[in-house]
Amino acid sequence: MTAEELFRRYGLTRVINASGTMTSLGASRVIPEAIEAGAAIQSEFVRIDELQARASRVIARLTGAEAGFVAACSAAGMSQSVAACVTGANLARIERLPDVEGLPDEVLVQAGHLVHYGAPIEQSVTITGARVVPLGTAARVEAFHLEDRIGEKTAAALFVVSHHVVQEGQMLLADFVAICKGRGVPVIVDMASEYDLTGPIALGVDLVVYSGHKFLGGPTAGIVAGRKDLVRAAYLQNRGIGRPMKVGKEGVVGTMAALEAWERRDHAAARERELANVRHWMEALAGVPGLRLDIHPDWTGNPIDRLKITVVAKEAGLHAWELADRLASGRPSIQVRDDLIEHGCFFLDPCNLTAEEAAIVGRRIEEEVASAQRRGDGLVVSLSERRKGRVEAGLKWPD
């Protein structure tokens, strides 16, 4: 069955993804190597522990870690990592989670890192039975906040690298790790959307979690890498709370193939293709009234530049969120990165787009602004109405 036949058979909406590697859209285009590897093992049987041990070698080579394994997703990897720091490799303790009576059960997290990534970060911790201990305040965390909360009940400290976290006033990862290492506290780093496969381990991080299906272009999966004893303890959570989070053979093999392809990838050529899309948008949208265009480097330092579009509502004839929603409701549906939409702006991410798709995005934006100005039907939906509508739509699923 071709993709066209599949979309037609099930009545699916065609999507042009200008928002980046968003899970709600399927994250990324899976690369051919990962598709082929996953398909090849589907009709075969394999010892999963043996397969994961081979995956450990690939992960160790790519990250510099002592060991690693493939999880169901990065959220699952985070929960399994937290659980590992609570139970160690004690099988009896693993089986009784989320009962943590008598065990170290506190996970230290900077207050500005307690974000929502599709679900609350805190829930990835508390699902294990552990509890979050926030450090400092949302916009100010100092070393003394971390030092003061380390105690006998501390199981681990979690550091989140994401554009979602507060960017000001947080502790730097190197300082965070240094304090925790000095006190014997394992550090877990959530790097789900980050390109840097080696930096955290080089800093001394004990466990680092990546997504396999975002920048790597693999199947839906997570990657846990780090100290062998803690990786082993995290993998053993598959005998406990990790059981509902298990990953299939195709996910493990596909992730291995994606990692090996990343090792061979021409990153400079890929970046140039992405920049070409951004340059096209800058030129195509330069004369559209009410739009202010800026090239915006990635928040966390990944080698990605996005186009930031600030919508001056009175000039454009509609609010930024109205423009985003009209793009999304069209055919094909164009999805932009709109998580900062309350500031009157959204972003176009080039990493999952062909040149042809990028051209469609630019053309549709110009058309929607022109239509709003001609018909005068913009500036009618408030931000609060939009938010309420989105919540209500979610509660109506699957209708």
Rg (CA), the chain: 22
Q: Where are the alpha helices (DSSP H) in 108-164?
A: 121-126, 143-149
Q: Range(s) for CATH 3.40.640.10 in the chain?
A: 31-264
pLDDT for res 1: 82
Predicted TM-score (pTM) of the model is: 0.94
Give counts: helices (H), strands (E), the chain: 16, 12
139-167 average pLDDT score: 95
pLDDT at 217 over 90: yes
More confidently predicted of 32 and 118: 32
**Whole-number pLDDT of residue 91:** 98
Top-level CATH class of 3-23+267-395? alpha beta
Q: How far apart (Å, rounded) are the C-alpha atoms in residues 50 and 366? A: 54
- Residue 177's alpha-carbon distances to 188, 200, 267, in angstroms, are 9, 9, 29
CATH no., domain 31-264: 3.40.640.10
> For the chain, where do the domains classified as CATH 3.90.1150.180 start and end?
3-23+267-395
**If you average pLDDT over residues 3-30, what whole number do you get?**
92
What percent of the chain clears pLDDT 90, i.e. is strictly above it?
A: 93
Q: Which amino acid is at 332?
A: P
DSSP H stretches of helix in 266-354: 267-284, 313-316, 320-329
